[in-house]
Chain A
Amino acid sequence: MHITPDSIILFQLGPVSLNATILFTWCIMALITVVSWLVTRKLSSTTQMSRWQNFIEVLVIGIRDEIREISRQDSSRYLPFVGTLFLFIALSNLLSIIPGYKPPTGSLSTTTALAVCVFVAVPLYGIAQNGLSYFKQYTKPSILMLPFNIIGEVSRTIALAMRLFGNIMSGTIIAAILLSIAPLIFPIIMQALGLLIGLIQAYIFAILAMVYIAAGSRVRQNKKGDV
């Protein structure tokens, strides 16, 4: 049994290795992109539209409203990043219903990569919004808090990665173990639960990412409020 799909090596050329994580990630990327292209190829701007367009619009509007509610700002700036996080993780988790499929989110490398992206995105959005004064928040309320703020920043990133990885990996492993112990019915229930957990985790990851980004971007607004 493989704990992580990283260990399933499909192709190896020196340090470059093509493992199941990367392969399935590409599959998900291709799937999302192709479906998006197919749907958005013939978009209707009237009230008459295809079911797929309707579905995609509902999805995008849902994500946008969620972002707007959390950030209390214009959502268009954060939509591509946070929306992609949610769609990628959600699809990655939901596809685990397919036999033989290994969710890339069950790999710590993937969750780390996503967490790193969030870790980098937070200051980038903060700087884009507030300029270099963004960094001043690390010295609040006192310069003495700087190390703790940095530790807090790093630790929440690690927590982000570990939470997603732990949940998905455990779900996969529990399903595998149950399959060997009680092969009838019970694994189906766990699988269904796994799907729910996968969706919730995608939501949690995206929401937390948005909260972190919004917290970094809101500094100037607070300042304006103080003035």
Chain B
Amino acid sequence: MLINWFTVITQIINFLVLVYLLKRFLYGPIIKAMDKRQEKIDLHLEEARKKKEEADKEAELFLKKNREFDGRHEEMLSQIKKEAEARKAELIKEARSQVDADMAGWYGAIQKEKENFLQDIRRHAVKHTCAIARRAIKDLSNADLEDRITSIFIERLQNIDADDREALARTVQHPAEGIRVNSAFEIPGESAKKIVRLIQNLTTDSVVVRFGILPELICGIELKLHGRKISWNISDYLEPFEENMRATIEAKTGH
């Protein structure tokens, strides 16, 4: 007999026990773990779907903004161009005014320099002319330059015209600071007395004449009375020379 009924019954029991054991230790836990994993995956997928939706919304918003920006692009560009042009014009204006100010400064400085230069030339010219004149007079007439200058001054004082004499007389009568005769050199006593006498002749009141030495006069002598001046100065002869020098410099520099 191939069938052993005891074995059959035992195997049925064995099989049922095995079914229980596998349900307890295999199918149950495995299915549970798989379901749990599936839940997690579903959750992740749901999260991913939500995130994708959010991302889509963001992308849509971005595209919308982009389109709006594109729409406003031209307008903004032209506005920016206008602003840039205005700014450019403003900057150019500022630069020009700055340059003008600088140029004015430079021209002023050059002018000052020129004046100083001409002054120097004049001073030197006067000095040398004085020296030449002194020497020439000495050689020609064996006379002193200062004496000659004083003589000429006295001559001028004697030969002033009527209007000047009257004006001078008025001034001499009411001198504010006394009467002062300035010269670059010491006036000899005789000549000084002559000058005082000539001035005294202008008025009946007694006058006080003071003599002073001003080195900047170089070769000159002057009497100043409230805007009135009687003088002789070698620099007067040099004025055409100075004018000529100035014209030459201006022709060279173009100013």
Which residues between 33 and 81 of chain B lie within 8 Å of chain A, taking CB atoms?
Answer: 33-34, 36-37, 40
Taking a contact as CB atoms under 8 Å apart, the answer to whether A33 and B40 are in contact is no
Restricting to A38-69, which residues have a CB under 8 Å from any CB of B? 40, 43-47, 53, 56-57, 60-61
The reply to whether A84 and B14 form a contact with Cβ atoms under 8 Å apart is: no
Chain B residue total in the interface (Cβ 8 A): 32
- CB neighbours of A183 from chain B (8 A): none
Given known contacts A43-B30, A84-B19, A109-B4, is B25 in contact with A22 (CB within 8 Å)?
no
* Residues of the A chain whose Cβ atoms lie less than 8 Å from the Cβ of B21: 29, 32-33, 36
Interface class of chain B by DSSP: helix
A57 touches B30 (CB 8 A): yes
Q: Mark B1-40, 1 if CB is under 8 A from A, else 0.
A: 0111111111110111111011101110111111011001
Decide if B2 touches A60 in the complex (CB within 8 Å): no
Task: Tell me if A129 counts as interface (CB < 8 A to partner B).
Answer: no
Contacts A80-B19, A80-B22, A109-B11 given; does A19 touch B31 at CB 8 Å: no
Complex Cα spacing A114 to B15, Å: 7
In-complex Cβ contact of B8 among A16, A61, A116 (8 A): A116
Nearest residue, chain B, Cβ from A104: B11
Dominant SS at the A interface?
Answer: helix
Restricting to A55-102, which residues have a CB under 8 Å from any CB of B? 56-57, 60-61, 76, 79-81, 83-85, 87-88
B12:A117 contact, CB within 8 angstroms: yes
A6 x B4 contact (CB < 8 A) = yes
CA A21 – CA B10 in complex, angstroms? 10
Instruction: Determine the chain A residues whose CB is within 8 A of the CB of B17 once the complex forms.
Output: 29
A155 within 8 A of B: no
Which B residues fall within an 8 A CB radius of A?
2-12, 14-19, 21-23, 25-27, 29-34, 36-37, 40
Chain A residues with CB under 8 Å of chain B are: 3-4, 6, 15-17, 19, 21-22, 25-26, 29, 32-33, 36-37, 40, 43-47, 53, 56-57, 60-61, 76, 79-81, 83-85, 87-88, 104, 107-110, 112-114, 116-117, 165
Q: Which 9 A-B pairs have the closest CB atoms?
A: A113-B11, A109-B7, A40-B29, A45-B36, A36-B26, A43-B33, A80-B23, A36-B25, A108-B2
User: What are 23 sample pairs from A and B whose C-beta atoms fall under 8 A apart?
Assistant: A6-B7, A15-B6, A19-B7, A22-B11, A25-B11, A29-B14, A32-B21, A36-B21, A36-B25, A40-B26, A43-B30, A45-B40, A57-B33, A76-B31, A80-B27, A81-B19, A84-B23, A88-B15, A107-B4, A109-B8, A113-B10, A116-B8, A117-B12
